[in-house]
Amino acid sequence: MSDFTVNMNEYLPLRDLVFNTLRQAILKGELKPGERLMEIQLAEKLGVSRTPIREAIRKLELEGLVLMIPRKGAEVAKISHKSLQDVLEVRGALEELATDLACQRITDEELESLRKAEAHFKQVVSSGGNEMQIAEADEAYHDIIYNASGNKKLVQMINNLREQMYRYRLEYIKDEAKRGTLISEHEKILEAIRLRDIIRAKALMKEHIDNQEMTVSRNLEEGEEEEESAKPKAGTHAQKKA
């Protein structure tokens, strides 16, 4: 099992600390897709009882990061084409709406915050920041657009998808060749919002999300092909005996 520990924080209950620790371990890839989550082993590793482990696993299941398999127990959810499509279809619709409303309602202060967030994202990428740092900078950029929509219900709906969106965002950022594209897309979206060009801003945001789906989907396919090629071929043993 990977080396991760609970980061103690006196302001959070133990169950939340355990949940945050396991969630980050999944997002960072320290707990791999398909890996079994054994309550006893995790409790021993983190130095806690099984109760907060069990509660954390239930919450992770609700977020789509963990699957409960009959007669096997809990395991880290694999990133499938269907789950990718489902999450990004919803994200795309919500982000286009947020972009539409932001074009109409964004304040000068929020526009300046968006400019700074875009510059910070570019700086993190250019300075060789790690995947988590880049993902967090990307998330901060989009958060400003969500909040600039002025629609609290919309922001709440997006926040409900936050963790699943973050997982795919992280998978996309792992492809270093796409980081320059992200910078360019952020700059174009910022300019369209600044000009309050709703049609162009929404089209750019749709392209932004579509590019993420295509890249992650392609990477998933390549990973599946590698797994398949690594499996022993049927009849190999028989051929050797012959």
Residue 232 has pLDDT above 80, yes or no: no
Give the C-alpha separation, 6 to 58, whole Å.
18
Mean pLDDT, residues 164-182 taken together: 87
34: Cα separation from own chain's centroid: 17
- Position 56 scores a pLDDT of 95
Residue 169 has pLDDT above 70, yes or no: yes
Point out the least confidently predicted range of 88-92, 152-156, 204-208, 225-229: 225-229
- Position 187 scores a pLDDT of 98
The pLDDT tens digits for 122-137 are: 999 999 998 889 999 9
Q: Which residues pair with 36 in a beta bridge?
A: 75
Give the C-alpha separation, 112 to 133, whole Å.
21
**Residues 140 and 202 placed together within one structural domain of the fold:** yes
**Residues 202 and 178 placed together within one structural domain of the fold:** yes
- Position 236 scores a pLDDT of 54
Give the C-alpha separation, 144 to 17, whole Å.
27
Yes or no: say if 16 and 57 are a contact pair by the CB < 8 Å rule: no
Phi, psi (degrees; rounded to nearest 5) at 83: -65, -35
Q: What is the mean pLDDT of the chain?
A: 88
Residue 53 binned pLDDT confidence (cut-offs 50, 70, 90): very high
Task: Give the count of domains, the chain.
Answer: 2
Q: Is 66 helix (H, G, I), strand (E, B) or coil?
A: strand
> Is 223 within the bounds of a domain?
no
**Residues 70 and 90 placed together within one structural domain of the fold:** no
Domain region containing 185? 81-213
Question: Which H or E run includes 109?
Answer: helix 108-126
The pLDDT tens digits for 67-87 are: 999 988 999 988 888 888 888
The pLDDT tens digits for 181-212 are: 999 999 999 999 999 999 999 999 999 999 99
**Residues 155 and 98 placed together within one structural domain of the fold:** yes
We report the CATH number of the domain holding residue 52 as 1.10.10.10
**Residues 163 and 103 placed together within one structural domain of the fold:** yes
Q: How far is CA 31 from CA 3, 36, 78, 126, in A?
A: 10, 9, 11, 28
Yes or no: say if 21 and 5 are a contact pair by the CB < 8 Å rule: yes
Structure-block tokens of residue 185: 């897309």
- Position 203 scores a pLDDT of 98
Give the C-alpha separation, 222 to 227, whole Å.
9
Give the C-alpha separation, 114 to 143, whole Å.
9
Point out the least confidently predicted range of 23-37, 89-103, 143-157: 23-37
Yes or no: say if 136 and 123 are a contact pair by the CB < 8 Å rule: no
> Is 229 within the bounds of a domain?
no
